[in-house]
Amino acid sequence: MAMDEQTLIQHALKLFAECDYDQQDISTELMQDKLAITPEQILQLLQNLRTAELVEQDSFALTASGREYALHVLQAHRLYETYLARKTGHSESIWHQLADEREHELSKDDVKKLAEELGHPRFDPHGDPIPTASGEMPAKQGNPLVNFSAGWEGRVVHIEDEPSHLYTRISQAGITTDSVLRIEQANTKEIHIRLEGQTFIFPHAVAEQITVVALGNDDTFDESIERLSTLKPGEKAEIVGMSSLCRGLERSRLLDLGVVPGTVATVQLLNPSGSPIGYAIRGACIALRKEQAEHIRIRKVRQ
C-alpha cells in the first residue's frame, strides 16, 4: 500500500535521524531501498522536505526543525515497540510494523505519557536508543558480530529488525539484547555461535544484524546455562531465569506457577509428538510447549 505524503515524510525523517546516529551516509539509492519508492518519488520527496525547511537545501542534513521532528517520530516508534514488548502478547515479528503505523498518531503529550508509563526506558527491545524529550541519546556502542573471531565471548546489545526475514532467523534462535554468547567457528561465509547449551550457524548476512560488546571484568560466559527444552528424563535442573522474549500474560502465568530462580524442575510426562512436555515444578505437572520451554533458563543439577 502506498504511503500518503505526510507518512512518507515522517519515514524519511526517521531514516535521516537513524543514519545520522549510525554515522552512515545518506544517498538517493539508500532512500530508494529503505523507503521502497521510485527515483522520481525520491526527487519529489527531497523537494518537499527542503521546501518545508526540514532538510538543508544543498545536502541531506536535517535542519534544526527537521531533527526535532525526526526525533519525535523516532521516540514514538521505539517507545511503542517497547510498550508492545512489555504490555501485550504480540509477536516480536510484528512489533516494527505496528509501531510504524502507530508512530504517526502519537502527539508529544501521548509520547510523554507513554514514556512515563514505561519508566523512561533508554533502549527499545532491539537495543535501539530511545531519544529523550530533549532529543538526547546514549552513545553508540558495540560492533557487528562478524567482526570477531573464534573463541571471542560477548554480550548482544542490539539486533537490527530490518529486513524482517533476517530478524526472524535471529528471534527464532532466541537471541535477545541481553544474550551472552561465544563464537565457536568463523569463516568468510558463516559464523557458529554457542548460546545456552546450543550451537547456531548464521550466514554473514544474519550475523551482521547482531551488535555485540565484550564481556566486562565481572561478567563471564557460563557454559552451564541451558534451556529447559534440553532437559531429558531422569535429569534435574535449577531454574535460573527467563528470556526477555517471554512476556505479558505468558510470563505472569509462569511466575505464578513457580517458574522462578531456584526452583527445581524435572521431566515428568513426555508427548509422543515432542510437544508439549510435562515438567514437575513445585509439586505440580506443568505442560509447556517447546517454544515456551526455550524461554526458560536452567542449570542442570548433578545427582
Per-residue pLDDT of 198-249, as tens digits, reads 999 999 999 999 999 999 888 889 999 999 999 999 999 999 999 988 877 8
Residues 205, 170: Cα–Cα separation, whole Å: 11
Give the distance between the most distant pair of CA atoms in the chain: 73
Of the given ranges (193-197, 213-217, 268-272), which has the lowest mean pLDDT? 268-272
Beta bridge partners of 191: 186, 202
Residues 165, 99: Cα–Cα separation, whole Å: 18
What end-to-end distance do the CA atoms of the chain give, in Å?
59
Of 31, 39, 70, the closest CA to residue 52 belongs to 70
Over residues 246-260, mean pLDDT: 87
Residues 263, 259: Cα–Cα separation, whole Å: 7
> In one letter, which amino acid is 197?
G
Per-residue pLDDT of 8-23, as tens digits, reads 999 999 999 999 988 8
The helix/strand/coil state of 174 is coil
Per-residue pLDDT of 27-75, as tens digits, reads 999 999 888 899 999 999 999 999 999 999 989 999 999 999 999 999 9
Share of the chain above pLDDT 70, in %: 99
pLDDT band at 1 (very low <50, low <70, confident <90, very high): very low
Give, for 154, the enclosing helix (H) or strand (E).
Answer: strand 153-159
pLDDT of residue 241: 94
Question: What residues contact residue 289 under an 8 Å CB cut-off, 6+ apart?
Answer: 275, 276
> At residue 113, does pLDDT exceed 90?
yes
| CB 190 within 8 Å of CB 204 | yes
pLDDT of residue 101: 87
Per-residue pLDDT of 66-97, as tens digits, reads 999 999 999 999 999 999 988 887 777 788 88
pLDDT of residue 3: 61
CATH number of 143-214: 2.30.30.90
Q: What is the mean pLDDT of the chain?
A: 91
DSSP 90: -
Q: Where are the alpha helices (DSSP H) in the chain?
A: 5-22, 28-35, 39-51, 64-87, 95-102, 108-118, 164-172, 204-207, 248-256, 290-293
> At residue 2, does pLDDT exceed 60?
no
Residues of the chain with CATH 2.30.30.90: 143-214, 225-301
Helices (H) and strands (E) in the chain, counts: 10, 12
Predicted TM-score of the model (pTM)? 0.78
Residues of the chain with CATH 1.10.10.10: 1-137
> At residue 116, does pLDDT exceed 70?
yes
Share of the chain above pLDDT 90, in %: 68
Residues 3, 8: Cα–Cα separation, whole Å: 6
Sheet holding 143-144, edge to edge: 143-144, 210-214, 153-159, 180-186, 190-195, 198-203
Question: What residues contact residue 116 under an 8 Å CB cut-off, 6+ apart?
Answer: none
CATH number of 1-137: 1.10.10.10
> At residue 278, does pLDDT exceed 90?
yes
Under CATH, what is the fold of the domain 225-301?
SH3 type barrels. (2.30.30)
CA-only gyration radius of the chain, Å: 22
